[in-house]
Amino acid sequence: MSGHVLDEAGLGHLLDRPGVRRVLAALSAEGEATRLVGGCVRDALLGRSGDDIDLTTTLLPQAVIVRAADAGLRAIPTGIEHGTITLLAGEATFEVTTLREDVETDGRHAVVRFGRDFARDAQRRDFTINALSLTPDGSLHDTTGGVDDLRAGRVRFIGEARTRIREDALRILRFFRFHARYGVGLPDPEGLSACIAARDALDGLSRERIRAELLKLLLAPGAAAAVAILSETGLLMRLIGGFGDRGRFARALAKGLEASAIDRLAALAIWSDADVARLEIRLRLSKTETAALAAYGRALGALHGRAIIDATEIRRLAAAHDRLGFALARTTTQGEKMPALSPEAEDYLAELAGGRIAAPKFPLGGADLVARGVPPGPEIGRRLALARARWLDLGCPDDAAAREALLEHAAG
């Protein structure tokens, strides 16, 4: 299987991106050196233009701040204790980090000291394809074999894989994410073996870090193959606390970028709404993300136990469920022993999922009943609940005559 064709002109394009030469000039000083490093260089060689531009420098953090101010750049000490300063040049943002050397690591945190050796700084990075650097004159520096690995589509740890994972266990997930994004064929055997052997170390990672890496992985082009390996090696169970449904996940992937990372997580990890609470806790999901998973889980439950869904039933379901959750559930269960949709129902669902029509909306409110003489209080809620049930039974009609009949029934 062939790898990647590298774009040598991409390095020049990187240097010409807005603000890059201005920042490099600001940090230029006799006896000091600054380079573009990491993902921006890697992506430039692939002809891609990522959002993040990182630089590494021999300048100490305070010197970076002073020189940036002298050049009219805004400097923010976002991670000054680790040597990182954020520079703003117009609309562009740059992360500038002083060269570092690891002194001590415990699998989650590293004790570092500042250095002046670019090669030693490269050695402390995770993968060879992330250790490339570019000088202001356009010279590419590769001390770990990253160019050959990038060309081959090979994600390989720098040095001994097990050692690099002991330094930071998150590199287990990053190995799979980067392989899903840049890898070709099977993962690097040494790296895969080391990740499997160190699986217990995942339990020591913060849930926020796991969440961030996992959601990025699910959006990568090679997510299906990566998830398959995670599942087969038992690593997926460590991450989500349950089995993954690779069939439904593949159907979600078929939607392309229409399926968000949370959509893909739902397809992979939600079998019913009972799974939502577990994932919310394990992955520290936001309220919005949790609500999306719950909507999908409820929609799955609604699809079970039905033989066919006709035009009337699809309107009932649309009124009772989140439209996006229901549409996703229909997509991920295609081909399973789920209810068939009539042609009219299929058309309706497609229009609904595409946002071209709105879901049926219950036409009555408490004020309508009060206006008809029903006293305010608990009775209003009881009558509205009964009216809504009747409205659903009738197929969610939305014409004026149906609304009036419903109101008379509720107020009578």
314 with 380, same domain: the answer is no
34 with 120, same domain: the answer is yes
The domain boundary residue, chosen from 122, 154, 186: 154
Alpha-carbon span 293 to 278, nearest angstrom? 11
Domain count across the chain: 3
Q: Which residues, given as ranges, of the chain have pLDDT below 50?
A: 107
Amino acid in the structure at residue 358: A
Look at residue 223 and tell me if it is in a domain. no
Which CATH number is 50's domain given?
3.30.460.10
Alpha-carbon span 68 to 61, nearest angstrom? 11
What is the value of pTM for the model shown? 0.85
The whole-number pLDDT of residue 241 equals 93
| Structural tokens at position 114 | 């500042």
Q: What angle do CA 342, 345, 348 make, to 5 degrees?
A: 155
295 with 399, same domain: the answer is no
Model pLDDT for residues 94-126, shown as the tens digit of each residue: 999 999 876 665 545 556 689 899 999 999 999
Residues of the domain holding 1 = 1-154
Hey, how many other C-beta atoms are within 10 angstroms of the C-beta on 186?
Answer: 12
Alpha-carbon span 342 to 323, nearest angstrom? 18
302 with 389, same domain: the answer is no
**Could you tell me what percentage of the chain is helix, strand and coil, using 3-state DSSP and rounding each to the nearest 5?**
55, 10, 35
344 with 372, same domain: the answer is no
The whole-number pLDDT of residue 294 equals 95
Alpha-carbon span 206 to 203, nearest angstrom? 8
Question: Tokens 């398959």 map to which residue?
Answer: 228
129 with 17, same domain: the answer is yes
Hey, how many other C-beta atoms are within 10 angstroms of the C-beta on 212?
Answer: 16
| Structural tokens at position 109 | 């945190």
The whole-number pLDDT of residue 354 equals 83
The domain boundary residue, chosen from 121, 154, 187: 154
The domain boundary residue, chosen from 353, 374, 390: 353
331 with 379, same domain: the answer is no
Beta strands in 41-117 (DSSP E): 54-57, 74-79, 84-89, 92-98, 100-105, 110-114
Alpha-carbon span 183 to 149, nearest angstrom? 9
